[in-house]
Chain A
Amino acid sequence: MSRDTGGVMSERIVLGIESSCDETGVGLVRLSADGRVELLADAVASSVDEHARFGGVVPEIASRAHLAAMAPTMRRALDESGLSLSDVDAIAVTAGPGLAGALMVGVASAKAYATALNVPLFGVNHLGGHVAVDTLEHGPLPERCLALLVSGGHSQLLLVEGVGEKITEVGTTIDDAAGEAYDKVARILDLPYPGGPPIDQQAKLGDPKAIAFPRGLTGPRDAKYDFSFSGLKTAVARWVETEQRAGRDIPIPDVCASFQEAVADVLTAKAVRAARDHDIDTLVISGGVAANSRLSELARERCAAAGITLRVPRPRLCTDNGAMIAALGAHVLHSGAKPSPLDMPANPGLPVHTIVVQ
């Protein structure tokens, strides 16, 4: 443990372990006495290629890959930082939400590391990690901010009042996650999995106004901050099939651009509206879909118009990784939270307001 000459804890090293989906991540951060958190290492192993032919993440394949990748990924993170395990002062691990079998590999590993090293263990919330990661890039967050999390697994609007202390859900998807809709539309168009990058690429060549795809849950009586992407995906399938039956070629760039516009429009409109309604001036966008070019462009425009500061971590930090869990662990540690018990279960349905499992 690093202490200054007065015996007061000056800075601490926090290690983060992530295994909720198909990325095995180990990250290391340094927590300063004033609560600032600095990225030291971020090693990720992905099993995404093994899932490609199945068109989605296969839980058992992901779990096997986590077990095989955990120790080597730990090694890489330590090498990257120039630290050894004995330098670690606390360990954070994703306790949920996520795939049960996948989470269990990370949680079991973290318990063993923490016990053998005799350091506190914090089972933390994956979603909170997506928010906390931005402090590695852009420094401390204001007292209140709004976070839009968009990925293959989540589509959420979160009200953040202290990243290690209080996070509440303002809105969520009632069916598919945004990234899931990308994967399904990619399949309709015979584009590769995962669907985000190829659709984004094709969309740049197309006309976003070519096809008027529906904007889910935007009627006057609909839930103001919730999302729905299932209807959009079906609308794309219906449009494509109708054209095919009529013997016409599918204008893939136009379909991609129009679909992407519908997604970005709803996400940014609802995020900006929620920020206004809650009197909040900072929006963080994180998760794998945050890297989408149209989403970030439209978010920039609309936030500028509404006087909202937009913060988007670099793509590498937006996707699942161990650094985000280390970052959240550091904020939790700084807030003085009690460590998690050693019999802590992995919780696939961990609610977003549970930042650390007690």
Chain B
Amino acid sequence: MRWCPLTRWTSVTSADVRWIAVLVIALDTSTPAVTAGLVDLDEGSPRVLAERVTINPRAHGELLMPQLVDVMEEAGRGFADVDAIVAGIGPGPFTGLRVGLATAAALGQACDVPVHPVCSLDAIAAAAEVTGPLLVATDARRKETYWAVYDGATRVDGPHVACPADVPTSGCAVAAGELAEAVGLDAVEPRFPTPAGLVAAAALDADPEPLVPLYLRRPDAEEPGKRKSVLTR
């Protein structure tokens, strides 16, 4: 594993030098985009060596790993070279979301590297070139939206799940994410999490938080009511 001092790509005082991983796999399956990328932090600022993004809400499980293999081949790197993994933890539709998280967790264990969770909306915000207040809105299905509000790169509200009409847009001029227009704001890029955004939003210099998905909804499950009679009168 290779490491570089954090000071090389962000400004901290020399007394505060910490070391961070330099070759990072970024994965996200919280939206219809199946996202895989390899990011190098060695050159002062994050550099995307290769990435694959496919829009297909029904095939996260089929597409993610072949895409990642393509990424590694294009970048000419092996899994043994990887120093850390960054994974979007949603919020997002559950079945697809779990593909990215199961993949990230297994890669982390197999490569013996840390896996850093990132709120997928934070990754979108980090990649949006917006300095003022920003709303990020993605598709939660069932006619609802996942949303969060940012001031620069800092999340100031959310993530939440709500009807588009109930998303508070006052104070934000623009929105990023797949449902940017649906909440009635001017849309800016990106629509989906990007490898660069995921890595930018990750706290790579800290111990990783537990890799727990942001479901924001409880499972649909009903306790059985009283049994119906089988006797006809």
The interface of chain A, by Cβ under 8 A from chain B, is: 53-55, 58, 60-61, 63-64, 67-68, 70-71, 74-75, 85, 100-101, 104-113, 115-118, 187-188, 234, 237-238, 241-242, 245, 342-346
Q: Is the CB of B66 within 8 A of A70?
A: no
**Interface residue SS majority, chain B:** helix
Using CB atoms, name the residue of chain A closest to B95: A101
Total A-B residue contacts, Cβ distance less than 8 Å: 120
Question: Of A53, A70, A188, which contacts B102 at CB under 8 A?
Answer: A70
Distance A53 CA – B95 CA, assembled complex (angstroms): 23
Q: Is the CB of A109 within 8 A of B61?
A: no
Question: Of B94, B99, B101, B111, which contacts A116 at CB under 8 A?
Answer: B111
**Interface residue SS majority, chain A:** helix
Distance A115 CA – B214 CA, assembled complex (angstroms): 26
Distance A238 CA – B221 CA, assembled complex (angstroms): 27
| B68 interfacial contact with A, CB 8 Å | yes
Q: Is the CB of B231 within 8 A of A115?
A: no
| B229 interfacial contact with A, CB 8 Å | yes
- Contact residues in A for B220 (Cβ distance below 8 Å): 58, 60
Question: Of B64, B99, B101, B229, which contacts A241 at CB under 8 A?
Answer: B229
Q: Is the CB of B222 within 8 A of A71?
A: no
- Contact residues in A for B95 (Cβ distance below 8 Å): 63, 100-101, 104
Q: Is the CB of B102 within 8 A of A245?
A: no
* Minimum Cβ distance to chain A for residue B104 (Å): 8
Distance A344 CA – B66 CA, assembled complex (angstroms): 10
- Contact residues in A for B43 (Cβ distance below 8 Å): none
- Contact residues in A for B230 (Cβ distance below 8 Å): 234, 237-238, 241
Q: List 5 A-B contacts (CB under 8 A).
A: A75-B109, A104-B99, A104-B102, A113-B106, A245-B231
| B76 interfacial contact with A, CB 8 Å | no
Distance A109 CA – B221 CA, assembled complex (angstroms): 26
Q: Is the CB of B69 within 8 A of A342?
A: yes
Q: Is the CB of A343 within 8 A of B62?
A: yes
Q: Is the CB of B221 within 8 A of A85?
A: no
A58 with B221, Cβ < 8 A, contacts A67-B98, A101-B94, A116-B106 known: yes
The interface of chain B, by Cβ under 8 A from chain A, is: 59, 61-66, 68-69, 79, 94-95, 98-111, 212-213, 215, 219-224, 227, 229-231
User: Nearest 7 pairs between A and B by C-beta?
Assistant: A112-B106, A116-B110, A60-B219, A108-B102, A58-B221, A111-B65, A109-B106
Distance A68 CA – B211 CA, assembled complex (angstroms): 9
A238 with B231, Cβ < 8 A, contacts A71-B106, A115-B79 known: yes
Distance A104 CA – B58 CA, assembled complex (angstroms): 12
Extra contacts, 5 of them, besides A63-B98, A187-B227, A343-B65 (Cβ < 8 A), are A58-B219, A64-B215, A67-B105, A104-B61, A342-B65
Question: Of A53, A68, A187, A345, which contacts B61 at CB under 8 A?
Answer: A345
- Contact residues in B for A111 (Cβ distance below 8 Å): 65, 103, 106
Question: Of B98, B215, B227, which contacts A188 at CB under 8 A?
Answer: B227
Q: Is the CB of B110 within 8 A of A117?
A: yes
Q: Is the CB of A343 within 8 A of B223?
A: no
Q: Is the CB of B66 within 8 A of A342?
A: yes
- Contact residues in B for A238 (Cβ distance below 8 Å): 230-231
* Minimum Cβ distance to chain B for residue A195 (Å): 13
Q: Is the CB of A67 within 8 A of B109?
A: no
Distance A75 CA – B112 CA, assembled complex (angstroms): 12
Q: Is the CB of B231 within 8 A of A61?
A: no
Q: Is the CB of B102 within 8 A of A116?
A: no
Distance A54 CA – B218 CA, assembled complex (angstroms): 14
- Contact residues in B for A67 (Cβ distance below 8 Å): 98, 101-102, 105, 213
Distance A343 CA – B69 CA, assembled complex (angstroms): 11
- Contact residues in A for B227 (Cβ distance below 8 Å): 187-188, 237
Q: Is the CB of B62 within 8 A of A54?
A: no
